[in-house]
Amino acid sequence: MSPTFTISDLRQCPQFIDTVADRVWQAWWRDSGHPLSLISGRLRDENLNANPLPFALVAHDGEAFLGTASVIASDLAERPQWTPWIAAVWVEPEARRRGVGGALVNQATRDCFALGFGRTYLCARATLSAYYERLGWTPIERDVGPRRLSVSIRDANPQAGPINRSRP
């Protein structure tokens, strides 16, 4: 059965920007005291221009928003030298378990590789690490930073050789 949704670059579907901003803010920024207007402004300034990074993807069924994922230069203060990162993966509760999150992450990964990046990074709470491993991500570190995140990678050419797991 094929998915009943489309994945688009936010630049092609700007009607979703307020929804994306709200979901990202609710999930990751609201509790730290950042106003929604900050996230909305950053999305507009950074994701609606012609620069390759950052960018955001949206999953939608027509005009119905299903989820989002972003690609940013850096998502983990403890590892600023690594780039790019797939971040802010969000799927609406009613759209979960339909393959939306995996499709967003996989499309973001392919887009990174198409931009010439040989490797992409992702950090997540330890409870989500197994989900990303099922999508083909390889964990390289655990318990990073004060939020004790797991860091995983995807290589454009996994046969290129062993992963350098040394810490910076």
Q: Which residues contact 152 (CB under 8 A, 6 or more apart)?
A: 121, 122, 123, 124, 129, 132, 133, 137, 138, 139, 140
Paired with 57 in beta bridges are: 9, 69
Is-cis flag, bond preceding 162, omega within 30?
no
CATH 3.30.565.10 fits 6-117, yes or no: no
Extended beta strands in 18-102, E state: 55-61, 64-72, 85-91
Residue 167 pLDDT: 42
Residue 157 pLDDT: 82
pTM of the predicted model as reported, rounded to 2 decimal places: 0.90
Task: Assess whether pLDDT exceeds 70 at residue 142.
Answer: yes
